Amino acid sequence: MDGPGPLGDFLRARRTRLRPADVGLREFGPRRRVAGLRREEVAQLAGVSVSYYTRLEQGLSRGASAEVLDAIARALLLGDHERGHLDRLAAVARHAPRLRRPRPERPTDSARELLRALDGVPAVVLGHRTDVLAWNALGHALLAGHLDRDSPDDPARRPNLNRMLFLDAHARELYADWPRKARAVVGNLRTAVGRHPEDRLLAELIGELTMKSPEFVALWADHRVTPCDSAVHRLHHPVVGPLTVTQQMLSISGPAEQALVVHTAPAGSPDEEALVLLRRAGEFGPAPRREPGPVGQVGPVGQGRR
């Protein structure tokens, strides 16, 4: 294996994020030359030799036991998601899988049924690489109305939410807190890589983003592992203006790792009214932009008080 590999990179990234005080150690001696904990400090906390931990971080040792991984996870204060990611990376290091090009993903029948049932709610079906496998009319209008609605049907033109977020100006302008959204999707992508280390298309996506987006490079180097289960996002939509939605990612039962992403707003809220307006815009042609009025005043298309 050339270089430390994903396991070594992850351990080093987590080590550099901790200070001695975070783990109950005192800082003394000469001025520290490295950010975060030293390797010998992690080894001490985990109860392993410095040489063994160094080999593990350098990719020279691939057979760490479950007990050793538990000890290192405790030393590095890993959360549950990071602990699972560590296990997957250790398993990959043991077997060094070959990259392979998988068949294009297709939405399952159950996923399409869910989309039909959620006709009045923006919904998107994602594959494990965050490729858009399908979306309903409102999901398309909310997230990517500038793209061809039928593009998910063609694997060669299929949108990818990670690619859109970093390389598409529309997505950058859509999210009011773009950096927070970007951190979340990169953390989720880290999890996908741990689950599918042999996926060549996933590796190619990461390579493309690395070449084209300095922001992605910085976030990817952080090795943060976070699920995108549920989050509230403020959007600046080009048709209906500002609105806030709750995004939830729900796993779809079946052998394929597909997820349903839905966007909701509280009943009777101005944000729900904005979604209704967006749906009408799709049914009856372009709608007037929703211009926000002064705080406490009803806007021109019936939005309530903000």
The average pLDDT across 31-39 equals 73
Lowest mean pLDDT, pick from 51-55, 207-211, 231-235, 299-303: 299-303
CA–CA separation, 265 and 270 (whole Å): 9
Q: Which two tokens stand for residue 147?
A: 């793209």
The average pLDDT across 188-204 equals 84
Q: Give the mean pLDDT of the chain.
A: 81
Class of domain 5-95: mainly alpha
**Segments making up each domain of the chain, as ranges:** 5-95, 109-284
What confidence score (pLDDT) does residue 82 get? Answer: 82
Q: What percent of the chain has pLDDT over 70?
A: 81
Q: Which two tokens stand for residue 233?
A: 């996002």
- Please name which of 171, 177, 238 lies closest in space to residue 209, comparing C-alpha atoms: 171
Residues 89-137 pLDDT 10s: 777 767 665 656 677 788 888 888 888 888 889 999 999 899 999 999 9
Question: Would the pTM of this model clear 0.75, i.e. be above it?
Answer: no
Tell whether the model's pLDDT for residue 2 goes beyond 60.
no
Tell whether the model's pLDDT for residue 140 goes beyond 90.
yes
What confidence score (pLDDT) does residue 209 get? Answer: 92
Pairing mode, if any, of strands 241-251 and 259-264? Answer: antiparallel
Residues 144-184 pLDDT 10s: 999 999 999 998 899 999 999 999 999 999 999 999 999 98
Lowest mean pLDDT, pick from 74-78, 122-126, 302-306: 302-306
The yes-or-no answer to whether 5-95 and 109-284 have a common fold is no
3.30.450.180, 3.40.50.720, 3.30.1330.30, 2.40.10.120: CATH of 109-284: 3.30.450.180
- Please name which of 1, 176, 142 lies closest in space to residue 161, comparing C-alpha atoms: 142
